[in-house]
Structure 1
Amino acid sequence: MDGKKLEYKGEEALKEVEYLTSNAPQCQENILKEILKRNGSTEYLKKYLEGSSYDILAFKNHVPVITYADIRPYIQRIANGEDSSLLSGHTITEMLCSSGTSAGEPKLMPSIAEDLDRRTFLYNLIIPIINQYVPGLDEGKAMYLYFAKAEMSTPSGLPARPVLTSYYKSKHFKCRSRDPFNDFTSPDQAILCTNSDQSMYCQLLSGLVHRHKVLRLGAVFASAFLRAISFLERNWINLCDDIRTGQLSSSITDSGCRSAMSDILKSPDPQLADEIKMICSKKLWKGILCQLWPKAKYIEAVVTGSMAQYIPALELYSAGKLPLVCTMYASSESYFGVNLKPLSDPAEVTYTLLPNMAYFEFIPLGDNGLMSMDEEEEVPKDKPVDLAHVRVGCYYELVVTTFAGLNRYRIGDVVQVTGFHNQSPQLRFICRRNVVLSIDNDKTNEEDLHNSVTLAKKLLEPDNALLVEYTSYADTSSVPGHYVLFWEIQHHATTNGGTNPLDAQLLEDCCMVVEEALDYVYRRCRTYDKSVGPLEIRVVEPGTFEALMDHFLKNGASINQYKTPRCIKSSSALELLDSKVEAYFFSPRSPTWIP
C-alpha cells in the first residue's frame, strides 16, 4: 500500500473513499492480480494453479473455498518454523489470535507487515467521516477504553496476539498523538498494561480527571464498555480517594501505569472528587454517563450483531441522550469497511466495503438468509460471486483472499447487501454463520435466537427489570433434549425505592414467547414430533456474566475482542453458569404449529 495514503486526513480521506468506491470492481480485480503475482508460487497456491496461468479465471476455477480446518495445517507449520512461502510471498511477521469465544478456541491468522498499513488507513477514515456529522471533535478528549493482551509466541518465535494488541504496539498507534482528533484520556502505558483490572482502573481514573474535556466515550465492543461501568460501580469510592489525595492507589503495582498516572494526578483535587462522589452515590445510575461526562457527544462501540443485546443498557446509562456509533467492520482475518452514516440507528447500520482491504467474494444464501451453509459443507468453486455481482436485499456469507495467505477463506459472517455507495456494496451484519442450537432437525442460528430473546425480554419492562445478558446451550442429558437459556436480570428501583420480584408466571411467559418466535422446524419438533422438550430459562445471580467473561479472559480471550458466546461449548464455562443459577423456569405448553 502506498505509504503516503496513511497520511490522508479530513477532506483528502473522504475523497479517497469516493475514489475507491467509485472504482470498486477495477480495484478488486487489481487487488486479486497483485495477490496472485505475489503468492502464486507459494506451496498452497501452486498445489491448485500449477500449470495454469496465475490469473483470476484460473483462481476461481481451481482454488477451493475453505474453512479454518483446511488452512490450519499450513498455519501451524509456519508457527512451528517453516518458511512463510507456504502461504505468502511476503514474510509473515506475526500470528493474530481470534477471540476464541465463537469457535471455542482461538484461531491463528497469518499477518504481514503491510497489513498494519491497511488497518491504519481504515482507522484514519473514521474521524473525517464522523466529523461531518459531529463537528468540533478536535476541541476535547476521547475516553476510549482499550486493552492490550499479553503476547504469546509460536514455537518459531513469531508473536501471537490479538489484532488490536498488534495495533496498539505499532508505530502507527504511538504516532496518533500528532493528530488533535486522537487526544485520548488514557495514557499509552495504561492501554498496554496487560493486567486488565489495573488497566481499567487507570483508564477510568484518567477519564474522570478529564471529565469536563471528554467529548467522546467508547470501547471496541459494547460488552467491554458495560464492563467498565460495572467496574466503576464497584470502584468509584477508591477512584474518588485517589483524586482527592492526588495519590494513586497502592493496589496499582504496574510500573508503567504508576509512572503515567503521576503526570495525571499532579495534585489533590477535593472539589472534583466531591463532584464525582455526588453523582456516583445516587441509587439510580440512569443517565450516569451524561452526568459524569457532561460534554460527551456520543458512545462509540460495536452494537450490531450479538452486541445489539447491550443497546438497552447503554441507553439506560446515557438516558437515551448519547447516540450509539458503530464506525467499522473488521475481524482478525481482514478489515472490511466503514460506516459512512455513523449516527444511524444501530438497527440500520450498514458498512461500505473498502475494496483495497482484500479480495472479497460472497456465497449466496438466498433472499431470506435461511440457506446458510454449515462449515463442514463443501462450497462449489463457482458458487461465490464477486463484489460487482451481489444483489441488493440478498444474504451472503463473506469470503476473503488476503496478501498474508488466506485464499477464498470463509469468514463465517452472514451479511445482507442493503445497497451500494457508488460501486461498492453496503453490508448489514446479520450473524455468525454457525448454528448455535440444535437438538433434532431444528437449526437455530444466532440471529433467530437474538430476535426471539428480544421479544421475550420486553415482558420484563413493566416490572422495572432489564435482561442484562444471556447465553444458551442444548441440553441433551435427558430425552428429549431441550434448549436452555441463562438469563441475568437486573432489577431497577421503583418509585418507592423497592424492587418488584419476578414471579414464575412471568418467566414462564418469557419461555413461551421465545418458543413462539423460533422457526417452523423448531416448533414442529416441539409440538408434533415431540423430539425437543420444553424450553428452559435459568435465572443466574447478578455478576454471573462478568464472571463468565473473566473465565474466558483467564483462558486467553481479549477484553477488546470478547463477545459473550451465544451458545456455551465449554464444559468449564457451563459448570460456572450452573453454579450461579438462582431459579429454573420451563415453557408450560407447546408452541403453536400449523402443518
Structure 2
Amino acid sequence: MLPRFDPTNHKACLSVLEDTTSNAKQVQDSVLEAILSCNAQTEYLRGFLSGQLDKQSFKKNLPIVTYEDCRSYIDRIANGESFNLICDRPFIVLLTRDKVQISPHEMTTCEDTTQRMFCQLLCGLLQRENVSRLDAPFASSFLKGFFFLGLLHLSPLLGRARDVTWRITGMNSNIRTGRVSDWITDAQCLSGISKFLTGPNPELAGLIEQECSKTSWEGIVKRLWPKAKCIEAIITGSMAQYIPMLEFYCGGLPLVSSLYVSSECSIGVNIDPLSKPCVFSYTIIPSMAYFEFLEVKKDHQETGHDLTENHVVVDLVDVKIGHDYEPVVTTFSGLYRYRVGDVLRVTGYYNNAPKFRFVGRQKVVLSIDMDKTYEEDLLKVVANATLLLEPHDLMLTDFTSRVDSSSFPRHYVLYWELGSKVKDVKVEPDPKVMEKCCFTVEESLDSVYRKGRRNDKNIGPLELKVVRSGAFDELMSFFVSRGSSVSQYKTPRSVTNEDAVKILEAAVVSKFVSRKIPSWELHELHSSR
C-alpha cells in the first residue's frame, strides 16, 4: 500500500511517513478494500461476506476473533490443505535484515542454544571494535546473554566441574589460544567462528580479562564494546522491569525501542527513539494493516477472551487520548478482525495517526475474592518494592506470581530471583528488608485488595519466595519444551501450570511474609482529594 521509494533515502522515508499519517483515514479505507478484494474468494471470507466486500458488511458480518477461533483453519493449512482457506497466496516467510550482524548467519541455524549463544558472544568479543549497536528482541533476552557471559564460571557447563573458572574454559581461553573449545561441536557454529577466530590474540584476551575481573559489572557493556552507540530491544510493558538492570550494565548507553511489532503484523514506529523509556510511544502506521480497537476499561476487563455486548469497537482515527484499547487487526496474510491481546494507551497523535504507549497484556493475572490485579498493576507494585533493594546492592533479575489456593485463606505468592551488583558475592537478602518489600507490595495494591486483607478470612498475607539463581532459566526451558519460541519467550507474570509451579517451588531458598496489614482508609482519603 506504500508508494515506491528508496528506503536508504531519509527524506523519501520521512515524506512517506508524513503522507501516510496525514491521510490516515483514507489509507485505512484503501487497505481494507485491498485486503477484502485480494482475499474475497477464500473459504473464510466467503463464509461470512457472501461476496459483499464493503466496509459496512465487513464490520457487521465478520466476528472479532482470537487464535482459538482461527486455529482449525491454520491446522488445516499446516496439514497440507490449500492456503486459499484464508489467504490468496502461499505462506512464505522471508527474513531480510538491513541490519549488519557481527555473528555469521549460519550460526542462527544451530539448534543447541548454549553453543549458539557462546559462539555469538565470542564473535562479538573478537570484533569488539566494530560493534556499533547491540540488540535483541526483548530486554529479557538481551540480559540472558550477559548472565550467560558472566555466569559461565559459576555453574557446570556440559559436565564441566563447578570450580573450573571462566578464564580457563570460557571465551577468553579461546581468544588467547586461537582455538575454539572442544565442546563446541555444531558444524554451523564451527564454520561461523572460524571466520574470526583465526589465531591467538593474547592482547585482546588480556584486555577482556582485565575488564571482567573488576569487582563490579557496572557499565560492562560500554567497557567491552567501547564504540557501541545504543542498546535496542523492546523495553516497554512487562519488559520495563528490566530497565534498571540494563542501565546498570550498559554504562549510560541510550536504550532504544524503535518498533512495535507483533507476531500478527508490524504495527508502529517510535519516531522519537532517543526519548526516555518511560515515555516511549509508537505511532501506528496506517498502511501496515487495517486496525480497529476495542476500548478497555479496567473495571470491565475480562479474565478470558469472551466478548460482551459492552465492548466499543472504534477505527484507528477515532481513538481518544488517555483511553486504553486492545488492537484488532485485519492483515493481507489471512487474519481478519483478530485480537492481538495487548493493551495500548493513547498518548497523542502524529498528524492524524494515533500514538500509543504499550501498557501490558489484556488479562487479570491475580484474583482471590473481589480483587483483580492486572499485569500493569503487578509490574508497578513490584517496581515500587524493589527500590528497597538498591541500598543493599541487590537487583531483581526476574519474577512471577500466582495465587496459592491450597491455603486458607488464599493469598498471593511472588517468586523473585535476585542478583548482586557486586561480582561473586553470595546473595543473602536481609529478612527485614524482604518483609518490608512484602508490605510495600501490599500497600501499593488497590483498595479492593487492601480491604480484603483487613479480614484474614478473605485474603491472607502476601508471601515472597526467593528462588536460586537460574530458576527462571529452568522455567524458560520448560515452556520452550512445550512449544514456546526461544526468541519470543517472555517470562509469564503469573503461573498456573502445575509443573511450572513445581519448578519454582523446588528452587525456593527463602520465604518471607507481610507481617503488617496494609491500611486502606488513608489511601482512600488521598484519592478523594
**TM-score higher than 0.5:** yes
Q: What SS does structure 1 have at the residue aligned with 2:128?
A: coil
Structure 2 equivalent of residue 261 of structure 1 = 193
Contact 2:409 2:456 in 1 (8 A): no
Counterparts in 2 of 1:548 and 1:263: CA distance versus 1, 3 Å = same
Counterpart in the other structure of 2:89 = 90
Structure 1 equivalent of residue 287 of structure 2: 356
Q: Is structure 2 residue 193 aligned with structure 1 residue 193?
A: no
Q: How many residues align?
A: 507
CA distance in 2, matches of 1:210, 1:23: 45
Residue by residue over 1:89-111, the C-alpha shift from the partner in whole angstroms, topping out at 9 and shown as x without a partner, is 223x2xxxxxxxxxxxxxxxxxx
TM superposition shift of 1:500: 8.2
Partner of 2:333: 404
| Aligned match of 1:59 | 58
**1:278 counterpart residue number:** 210
- Relative to structure 1, the CA distance from residue 381 to residue 519 in structure 2 (aligned partners, 3 Å threshold; closer, same or farther) is closer
Map of 1:29 onto structure 2 = 29
Alignment of 1:500-579 (within 5 A): 501-528=428-455, 530-579=457-506
Is the alpha carbon distance of 1:302 and 1:21 closer, same or farther for their aligned partners in structure 2, counting shifts above 3 Å? same
Shift of 1:558: 2.5
For residues 500 and 171 of structure 2, what CA distance do their matches in structure 1 show?
32
DSSP-derived class of the 2:278 partner: helix
User: 2:180 pairs with 248, 262, 275, which one?
Assistant: 248
Measure, in 1, the Cα distance between the counterparts of 2:239 and 2:149.
21
- Is 1:214–1:293's contact at 8 Å kept on the other side of the alignment? yes
Q: 1:371 to 1:381 in 2, by over 3 A?
A: closer
SS in 2 for 1:377: coil
Secondary structure, in 3 states, of the residue corresponding to 1:429?
strand
Q: Given the alignment of the two structures, is residue 485 of structure 1 paired with residue 402 of structure 2, yes or no? A: no
Q: Is the 8 A contact 2:418 2:427 kept in 1?
A: no
The residue that corresponds to 1:294 in the other structure is 226
Task: Compare 427-436 and 516-525 and name the one that shifted more.
Answer: 516-525
Instruction: Go from structure 1 to structure 2 and tell me whether the alpha carbon gap of 1:87 and 1:498 turns closer, same or farther (over 3 Å shift).
Output: closer
Alignment-derived partner of residue 230 in structure 1:
147
Report the Cα distance in structure 2 between the residues aligned to 1:378 and 1:184, rounded to whole angstroms.
43
Please tell me whether residue 472 in structure 1 is matched to residue 401 in structure 2: yes
Do the aligned partners of 2:107 and 2:120 also contact (CA within 8 Å) in 1? Answer: yes
What is the deviation of 1:589? Answer: 2.6
Question: 1:310-389 alignment to 2 at 5 Å?
Answer: 310-319=242-251, 321-366=252-297, 369-380=298-309, 383-389=312-318
Cα distance in 1 between the residues matched to 2:213 and 2:320: 53
Distance in 2 (CA, whole Å) between partners of 1:553 and 1:18 is: 41
Contact 1:60 1:381 in 2 (8 A): no
Question: Could you tell me how far 1:452 is from its partner in structure 2?
Answer: 0.5
**Could you tell me the TM-score, scaled by structure 2's length?**
0.91
User: Which secondary structure does the structure 1 equivalent of 2:150 belong to?
Assistant: helix
What does 1:40-189 align with in structure 2 at a 5 Å threshold?
40-50=40-50, 53-91=52-90, 93=91, 113=92, 166-167=93-94, 170=95, 172-173=96-97, 176=98, 182-189=99-106
What is the CA distance between 1:529 and its match in structure 2?
A: 7.6
Contact 1:361 1:400 survives alignment (8 Å): yes
- Give the CA deviation at 1:593: 2.5
Instruction: Indicate the residue corresponding to 2:133 in structure 1.
Output: 216
TM-score by structure 1 length? 0.81
Distance (Å, rounded) in 2 between the aligned partners of 1:370 and 1:562: 29
The residue aligned with 1:418 is 347
Post-superposition offset of 1:379: 4.4
Counterpart in the other structure of 1:16: 16
Q: 1:260 to 1:503 in 2, by over 3 A?
A: closer
Q: Do 1:393 and 1:418's aligned partners in 2 also have CA atoms closer than 8 Å?
A: yes
Residue-by-residue CA offset, 1:329-376 (whole Å, 9 max, x unaligned): 11111110111111111111001111111110011124xx55434433
- For residue 437 of structure 1, the aligned residue among 347, 363, 366 is 366
Q: CA RMSD in A?
A: 2.2
State the SS of the aligned residue for 1:286: coil
> Shift of residue 79 of structure 1?
2.2
Cα pair distance change 1:389/1:529, threshold 3 Å: farther
How far apart in 1 are the matches of 2:233 and 2:325? 24
Once residues 195 and 420 of structure 2 are traced to their aligned partners in structure 1, the CA distance between those partners, rounded to angstroms, is 40
What is the Cα deviation at residue 590 of structure 1?
A: 2.3
In structure 2, how many angstroms separate the alpha carbons of the residues matched to 1:470 and 1:382? 32
Is contact 2:138-2:233 (8 Å) kept?
A: yes
Calculate percent identity across the aligned residue pairs: 45
2:158 corresponds to: none
Q: Counterpart of 2:129 in 1: which secondary structure?
A: coil
Deviation at 1:269, TM superposition (A): 1.0
Change (3 A) 1:381 1:442: closer
Q: Distance in 1 between matches of 2:309 and 2:111?
A: 44
CA distance change for structure 1 residues 18 and 370 in 2, over 3 Å: closer, same or farther?
farther
Cα distance in structure 1, aligned partners of 2:89 and 2:220: 49
Q: Note if contact 1:352-1:424 (Cα within 8 Å) is conserved in structure 2.
A: yes
Q: Tell me the distance in 1 between the aligned counterparts of 2:459 and 2:310.
A: 36
Gaps in structure 1 of 5+ consecutive residues? 94-112, 114-165, 177-181
**1:493 Cα deviation after fit:** 4.0
One-letter amino acid of the structure 2 residue matched with residue 519 of structure 1: D
